[in-house]
Structure 1
């Protein structure tokens, strides 16, 4: 079940009122302001939405857990129903099917929501319904849960990732063609996840396939120093910063090079080039 963030989009089925900020009026007042537009984007909007959602569940006789404020419980004579909320996604599970159906309808009356049906995936967990092998008809199906590692999941042990990045940074001294790729994966040193690790594997495969290639320094080259530089505009998809690159040649010999993100976000291609 996926509950849309109705409060942030101004879709609650009632008028929204808010207290005026301090200093708006010269003297204290009990008046309130009626919001005519959505509160999306305000820092207090997520907290206000959760307060509204919490008060709605408490009206349905649910209890908020003390050690996990996002978990709600309601016990009945036939069993119990658990509700877990994460941002704008919730899970409802329990043995009282009539209470679950009633809760779904009550939530639909209070919020604009969409029922995604039987739980299959939640926060990297895969849930599979497996029919019980027991001959009893009343035996409920078993739930098999396993962790699915996606490309956006963080690595449990980033030590190997950081060691590989440091080694690749050292190799850029003699492998200038991997400078840009290594610069991209170096941005994830603090919080590495699977996608940059896949990129590192591709870099290593490239190095193994081009091991016999290298830089050539001819003996008859001139001693004239040439420098070239270039940059793109918002070329980094992760930070939206422009990437600058330069290289220096002594005659026909490449002696120095670098590729890095700019320190700030450029507002135009002219600023990025400058």
Structure 2
């Protein structure tokens, strides 16, 4: 179960229905060396939405080594509040990718949430309040280089044993695109789930290239796609399909085609430097802070 410090009785929480997304748009700040996107004003309404008066501080959005299952304690008597708060947090991920993975995990239980899920949801809100001034920072520079990071959490879902795809794209070392999504099929191989994640990241790179071409913006060189699974990288750079890769042959050929065309170049990276970890798993406080600094998620 969750940390008792973050368990809030449901009777102490109510919902306020007056706030709409259009009332609080994304804020654009103008620091000296770039711009910052923030939803601080919207985040300030979250405790009001939940009538949460708790002033505790949460340094990470989710506890480590905690499994979230379908039948995880007593079901909530009124799940409407849970669903509404999930919707608010999904909107907040526009500028707060640091809560994308926890929100993705808890959004799987909107049909039948339990008290444990609700307590974890309130922890995310406490984390947002503890980092209310955080936003996405974009450097101002003339050099445009696109790079991507891709990762996967093999069989991480305790209910279905499906894996989670995570990737992120950066331009000028600033985060512009990211994804955290459960894969539709169960895989017996960690290499397979890593490769499927690489294929999804490759599709995003191609889309960004086409968008920038329409805007008459040229990207400097090919895009480096960072991955930390050696077996998946070897498959991507090997034009010979073996018997064990027939079931992912389409993904293999798709990635290899763009490698040959020099749209992407795949580079092995140490797990410690894998920025996509933020979108596939829960981390310690120190690891969480390290990735936020690398992804330019800063406090103004």
TM range (shorter): 0.3 to 0.5
Question: Which protein, 1 or 2, shows the higher relative CO under an 8 Å CA cutoff with sep ≥ 6?
Answer: 2
TM-score normalized by the length of structure 1: 0.44
Greater Rg by CA: 1
TM-score normalized by the length of structure 2: 0.40
